[in-house]
Structure 1
């Protein structure tokens, strides 16, 4: 094996894979000395979660960054002047096993540019997973990026070897996809998603009857949207995400802020990167939809098509709906408690358990971890004073932002003092 050439490929194809966030990632700083293979240097290693909630480290690479398509938003598009590389199937297998034996990783996240055709590329991705499972007896976590347009037969085979499959929807709207990726068809993304969904449902049903039925993509499927490459609103994005959760049983939808990669009149200008805070607000909204009982229409709609960057979406909803408040902490049911700003689902559980023993006051709530700087404007409890005092929404928002700014400055000052 030519180790220097493999290292070069790894540098190129791990760097190209960083734009795919449909595998929750965070850098690793473990290094290998004496020019050994596998220096992660914050690249190539990411973290993801298994079906049972375990966090695992994955080798995150592309099979190749060659691509037959010319999608305007993609760094690996065929017209882009970048250094190209491609792994052989056995090279990926060997890298995975070697990294695993060195305890760098517990699994593999494998994606690819599309070369020759969707089926040809998908066949090579499956070949890697199949070799790992059958020849190397590898039982670690494998996440395969499904190729849009791949046949049902290949999607079926992929699900037998991979723990999770994902097809990136890429652009949230059909019109945006036509503008930036005219060679691609929206239905090419949906077809493999539907196949995976149906097979997961079928296998789960069969396993209830016969336990020897093999698992099919046991960690489900996910997708990713690029945010800010076209002029979609947050409403467009979240309505699209809701559609995929409802109709394709997605485990996760990921939101990736567009990174300017080219001077193209169809794209935002170079240097106008999507703020990280917008991504954060979208993830917070996603969380509220999945775990807090909110409907998408409550959070984003025709009147409020974009999320408030200054405050989180739950607080923004509460400020627009002050007629639902104040809420009595000692009598409100679980669904109502979950809508109070500053109270998370863990705190909701603590409140329900604790109030069966006594009435709760400000001090009790503070000890439970409730963020009183936000919650106090929306609740009543067993205390003499009610902090809201019939304030209107702008004043409440201003007071919360002022408190948050003061807290940040205090924390920043304390960190600086460590170096004095």
Structure 2
């Protein structure tokens, strides 16, 4: 099988992993190198028409001894594997051709996870040492990998990730009979957390949930997500709505609606960036599931009984208003230091989305009446 055929198979298999942010604080002082990872996470590589390019996201192999019921690697389709130098040379040629800006390397687990991990480390070492590549590398830690190999991989990577996939041991048992939630997943996350705290891993770790594959509720996902941020210090949680794949055990299962994935991302933002407590999100759920409506809007309807005076309220109250984000709230506070906000146009110029915000704010003693005002 030639390299082009391998790319078609293993590149297509890599699309199911969405942990693809490229933020890294690693310094690249030497000029004798290829690539650079800067604080914004964007390497200096562009296509000929000026567009910023993406990661080369690929599997080392799509052969896998695990039996995850939703995973295409369990299918009986064509199997392929790279050799370390083969994959390394391919990546460098793509990078130098301005097609990609960094490497996202994952793999199926063909038998022994340590053996596959050794091949992944050999691949990254090859591009780092032979080609002096100093750009961004995101490496997957395979379930069951020995600590020494996790440590070795952390030394040549910017970011690592282990996908939790489900929110609990019981849910994991529903989609895989040979993957242990605590020892295979959480233990390795704890190792990565420890390595990241020692500056071995500039961009830390991320993780991913497969939404709907195990019949879990949104509240189950949000609880583990909140725990992951607090206890495992993950940088980002990603979500992938379950989509049935032919020849897998769950090929007949109904597809998870994409809006559920979108609502979870909105909740993630409110927890991670806004600092809203999980309890506030729980209060606007329908049982243990999110409604198909923006959670921030639902929270505002429930908690903002009267309009928020944009000239008097605190930062914490401003960010509860739909249409006012973190940056816009800071702009409003900065503006108030020199003058009062006198009208909606000033707010629009500061970035407020008035269509969403007007029912919940008061400007210069005026506010838009809501339906409840007439009842």
TM bucket normalised to smaller: 0.7 to 0.9
What is the CA–CA distance in structure 2 between the aligned matches of 1:354 and 1:259, rounded to whole Å?
47
Question: Which residue, 345, 360, 373 being the options, matches 2:326?
Answer: 345
- Measure, in 2, the Cα distance between the counterparts of 1:62 and 1:107: 14
Distance 2:286 2:97 in 1: 54
1:332 aligned onto 2:313: yes
1:111 to 96, 106, 110: 106
Contact 2:323 2:357 in 1 (8 A): yes
CA distance in 2, matches of 1:264, 1:153: 33
Distance of aligned partners of 1:243 and 1:51 in 2 relative to their CA distance in 1, 3 Å threshold: farther
Segment of structure 1 superposing worse, 10-19 or 277-286: 277-286
Q: Deviations over 1:70-93 (max 9, x none)?
A: 11010101xx22111111111111
Question: What is the CA-CA distance between 1:268 and the residue it aligns to?
Answer: 7.3
Distance in 2, Cα, partners of 1:293 & 1:91? 45
> Which of 307, 312, 318 is the equivalent residue of 2:290?
307
Aligned residue runs from structure 1 range 96-135, under 5 A: 96-135=91-130
Equivalent position SS for 2:321: coil
Alpha-carbon offset, residue 104 of structure 1? 1.2
Which residue of the partner structure matches residue 48 of structure 2?
A: none
Counterpart mapping for 1:351-366 below 5 A? 351-360=332-341, 361-366=343-348
Partners of 1:236 and 1:8 lie apart in 2 by 40
1:370 aligns with 2:352: yes
Show structure 2 runs of 5+ residues with no match: 23-35, 44-53
**CA deviation after TM superposition for structure 1 residue 349, in Å:** 1.2
**Structure 2 partner of 1:195:** 191
Aligned to 1:143: 138
Higher relative contact order (CA 8 A, sep 6+): 2
Aligned: 1:229 with 2:213: yes
Task: Assess if the C-alpha contact under 8 Å between 1:263 and 1:269 holds in 2.
Answer: no
CA-CA distance at 1:387 after TM superposition = 0.5
- 1:18-33 equivalences under 5 Å are 18-24=15-21
What's 1:286 paired with? 268
Post-superposition shift, 1:16? 0.4
Contact 2:58 2:105 in 1 (8 A): yes
Structure 1: tracts of 5 or more residues without a match? 26-48, 204-215, 396-420
CA deviation after TM superposition for structure 1 residue 293, in Å: 2.1
Please, which moves more after superposition, 360-369 or 124-133? 360-369
User: Counterparts of 1:219 and 1:289 in 2: how far apart (Å)?
Assistant: 20
69, 72, 81: which one pairs with 1:72?
Answer: 69
Coordinate RMSD, CA, aligned: 2.2
Q: TM-score, normalised by structure 1?
A: 0.79
Q: CA deviation at 1:202?
A: 2.5
**1:303 Cα deviation (Å)?**
6.2
Cα distance in 1 for partners of 2:333, 2:218 equals: 34
Query: In 2, are the aligned partners of 1:51 and 1:219 still within 8 Å (CA)?
Result: no
**In structure 2, C-alpha distance between the alignment counterparts of 1:252 and 1:333, rounded to whole Å:** 28
SS in 1 for 2:367: coil
Secondary structure class of the residue paired with 1:60: strand
1:363-418 alpha-carbon deviations (Å, 9 max, x no partner) = 211222211122111111115x320346279x9xxxxxxxxxxxxxxxxxxxxxxx
Listed one character per residue, the Cα deviations across residues 84-140 of structure 1 (whole Å, up to 9, x for unaligned) are 111111111110111111111221111000012111111111111111112221111
Q: Secondary structure at the match of 2:2?
A: helix
TM-score (norm. length: structure 2): 0.88
Which residue is equivalent to 2:25? none
